A = this chain, B = another copy of it.
């Protein structure tokens, strides 16, 4: 399979397609058109066709897509069969909620441990996921072959914690802190700043109140 680089906005939609195709497959449906997918997922049909075009020749005009084939293709592409172990750093309110959230519907990611420096939390577990002290990080991530961490520490210790993670071998961080982290070039940081997500929604509501609902607004870029 050619590993062509696809845009991040497309990459984000592939798991959506995958989940919906799983449902269609489960009820025995054999074909699906881009307009069926569009109705179910609230994504423009042209966007769907463009997304699929990055993946190669997947459908025939007027026929639609073969559900089983597309599902297998996406499974390989998304490497859904490989489980990725993930740790979470900072077991506060948001961290605890994310440990419980458990990234459901995702068969290919597993939260294996939480870390916190509060001795009252160390040794407990959140819905079966153990909480360790930070000084055991290297040992635990070596044991579980972890390269990805979710960061939910207070903002004032975010950079120091991230530096410690890089040092321990973490290569990807899902950063929920508002800090803009400095990282080695080989590390990938993905920021989710909840305040900014809320402000952006409000910004568009206030400034473009009569705009049509555009769900995947990055398309506008």
Q: Which residues of A contact B (CB under 8 A)?
A: 3, 5, 7-9, 11-12, 14-16, 19, 40-43, 78-79, 82, 84, 86, 93-94, 96-98, 100-101, 103-106, 108-109, 147-148, 150, 171-172, 174, 178, 180-215, 217-218, 220-221
Q: Are A188 and B201 in contact (CB under 8 A)?
A: yes
Q: In the complex, how many angstroms separate the beta carbon of A29 from the nearest chain B beta carbon?
A: 18
Can you report 19 A-B residue pairs in the complex whose CB atoms are below 8 A from each other?
Answer: A5-B208, A7-B220, A7-B221, A9-B221, A97-B97, A98-B194, A109-B195, A109-B198, A148-B205, A150-B198, A172-B201, A172-B204, A174-B201, A185-B212, A188-B204, A188-B211, A188-B214, A189-B215, A190-B201
Q: Are B172 and A202 in contact (CB under 8 A)?
A: yes
Chain B residues closer than 8 Å to A182, beta-carbon distance: 42
Please, which residue of chain B has its CB at the minimum distance from the CB of A4? B207
Please, which residue of chain B has its CB at the minimum distance from the CB of A109? B198
A186 to B205, CA, bound (A): 10
Q: Are A197 and B204 in contact (CB under 8 A)?
A: no
Q: In the complex, how many angstroms separate the beta carbon of A23 from the nearest chain B beta carbon?
A: 12
Q: Are B93 and A202 in contact (CB under 8 A)?
A: no
Q: A84-B202, A172-B204 are in contact. List 8 more A-B contacts (CB 8 A).
A: A42-B181, A78-B203, A93-B96, A101-B194, A148-B201, A186-B210, A187-B213, A189-B213
Contact of A206 among B79, B181, B190 (CB under 8 A): B79
A200 to B108, CA, bound (A): 12
Please, which residue of chain B has its CB at the minimum distance from the CB of A39? B182
Q: Are A106 and B198 in contact (CB under 8 A)?
A: yes
Q: Are A205 and B172 in contact (CB under 8 A)?
A: yes
Q: Which residue among A12, A82, A184, A192 has the maximum number of chain B CB atoms within 10 Å of its CB?
A: A12
Q: Are B96 and A195 in contact (CB under 8 A)?
A: no
Chain B residues closer than 8 Å to A9, beta-carbon distance: 218, 221
Chain B residues closer than 8 Å to A191, beta-carbon distance: 215
